[in-house]
């Protein structure tokens, strides 16, 4: 939904990192994206192409993703289970007292220069 | 060609915004101004509710509104005409949310002299605004009866970041199978501290409870 906003954040962070490392051109940006982060990778890619090509530093720069699995923890039976498959209800004990352990990451893992 | 060099970054894209937001909150604290971030789906009744609440509070405290819901001045003008308070339109350029930087730019255009409370009417959307800390002291949201009582299950993040959930349009309860008790239960699953206040912004029913909540919040913010 807010892929364009995210793309501007990525560009800002990458620019900063490039400056700190004296880099003149970035060839690829690698992201870690959680399964339930609400980011739509295709849409992020479209926004990326549009915005990145406006920057000398990022012209033609590729954007790649690692999709990280989402894991939920059950407070009642203390087990972990895959979020996407089972949602908020624990598949072991049926409890709804559960919370997301990981899977909503939107982070820049590394850049290739 | 040069061999590929990899520079590790390992940084959440939200990190800088979260820092900006904390800084803004601190500045607001120093100035004694309370900023409320009000969110909802489009049409849930943010503007109508605000007008009611402001008219109950404007003789007690200094209030201003920043409108970000849509890129036209309609709501900002409506609020100014209905309440007489300072009200500005933020232009989001089609963005689906506001972040701390945009909020700060908005505040730069507000005359803070004599103000105790600024309300930010965020972009109408239950997903994106919840992910971006605006720097507000508290988040509140409005859920209207026609949207259904299961929204806290469908939009968990929104309900986990809000300390006040206003259930609006209770005048149409007879026509919908909206279960207020279930709704409250679902809200508390996402945030046990959240207050749920049912209102009808159209008639003003229940709005005084929202005004009371806000007044207490503003007082606590200034005293602590
Ligand atoms: N029936 C009913 N309609 C309402 C109520 N509050 C707002 N509305 C209507 O809902 C529509 C959207 O309200 P508005 O305040 O503009 O929503 P916003 O987009 O969230 O700012 C308008 O037509 C209002 O008149 C209410 O309590 N009951
Ligand atoms: Mg509005
Ligand atoms: Zn969005
Ligand atoms: Zn369990």
Distance, in Å, from the CA atom of A52 to the CA atom of A10, rounded to the nearest integer, reads: 10
Q: What is the mean pLDDT of chain A?
A: 94
**Whole-number pLDDT of residue A1:** 58
ipTM: 0.84
- According to CATH, what is the number of the domain B19-223? 3.40.50.300
Q: What count of CB pairs under 8 Å joins A to B? A: 73
Give the largest CA-CA distance in chain A.
54
**Whole-number pLDDT of residue B92:** 82
Residue recorded with tokens 């793309």? A7
CA B158 – ligand 3 centroid, Å:
13
| Number of domains into which chain A is organized | 1
Residues B121 and B93: beta-carbon distance below 8 Å: no
Q: Which CATH number does the domain housing residue A33 bear?
A: 3.30.2320.80
Domain ranges of chain B: 19-223
Q: Taking 70 as the threshold, does the pLDDT of residue B14 lie above it? A: yes
Domain that holds residue A77: 3-112
Three-state DSSP class for B24? helix
**Whole-number pLDDT of residue A4:** 86
Please tell me the pTM assigned to this model: 0.89
Q: Nearest C-alpha to atom 7 of ligand 1 is from which residue? A: B45
Task: Please identify among residues 30-89 of chain B the ones whose CB lies closer than 8 Å to any CB of chain A.
Answer: none
Distance, in Å, from the CA atom of B65 to the CA atom of B107, rounded to the nearest integer, reads: 10
Distance, in Å, from the CA atom of A59 to the CA atom of A51, rounded to the nearest integer, reads: 9
pLDDT band at B2 (very low <50, low <70, confident <90, very high): low
Q: Which of B198, B142, B208, B210 minimizes the C-alpha distance to B170?
A: B198
């Amino acid at each position: 939904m807010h892929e364009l906003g995210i793309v501007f954040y990525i560009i800002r962070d990458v620019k900063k990192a490039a400056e700190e490392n004296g880099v003149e051109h970035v060839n690829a940006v690698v992201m870690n994206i959680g399964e339930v982060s609400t980011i739509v990778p295709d849409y992020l890619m479209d926004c990326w192409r549009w915005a990145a090509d406006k920057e000398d530093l990022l012209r033609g720069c590729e954007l790649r993703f690692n999709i990280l699995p989402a894991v939920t923890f059950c407070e009642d039976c203390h087990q972990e289970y895959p979020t996407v498959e089972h949602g908020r209800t624990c598949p072991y004990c049926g409890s709804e007292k559960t919370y997301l352990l990981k899977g909503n990451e939107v982070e820049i893992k590394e850049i290739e220069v | 060609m040069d061999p590929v060099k990899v520079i590790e970054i390992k940084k959440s894209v939200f990190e800088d915004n979260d820092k900006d937001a904390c800084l803004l909150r601190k500045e607001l604290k120093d100035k004694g101004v309370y900023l409320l971030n009000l969110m909802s789906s489009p049409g849930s009744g943010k503007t109508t509710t605000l007008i009611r609440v402001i008219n109950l509070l404007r003789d007690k405290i200094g209030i201003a509104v920043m409108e970000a819901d849509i890129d036209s001045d309609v709501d900002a003008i409506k609020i100014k005409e209905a309440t007489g308070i300072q009200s500005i339109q933020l232009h989001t350029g089609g963005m689906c949310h506001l972040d701390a930087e945009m909020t700060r730019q908005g505040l730069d255009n507000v005359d803070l002299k004599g103000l105790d409370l600024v309300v930010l009417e965020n972009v109408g959307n239950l997903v994106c605004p919840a992910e971006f800390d605006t720097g507000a002291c508290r988040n509140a949201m409005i859920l209207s009866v026609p949207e259904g009582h299961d929204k806290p299950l469908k939009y968990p993040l929104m309900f986990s970041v809000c300390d006040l959930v206003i259930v609006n349009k209770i005048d149409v309860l007879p026509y919908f199978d909206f279960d207020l008790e279930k709704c409250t239960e679902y809200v508390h699953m996402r945030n046990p501290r959240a207050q749920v206040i049912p209102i009808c912004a159209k008639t003003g029913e229940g709005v005084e409870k929202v005004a009371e909540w806000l007044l207490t919040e503003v007082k606590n913010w200034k005293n602590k």
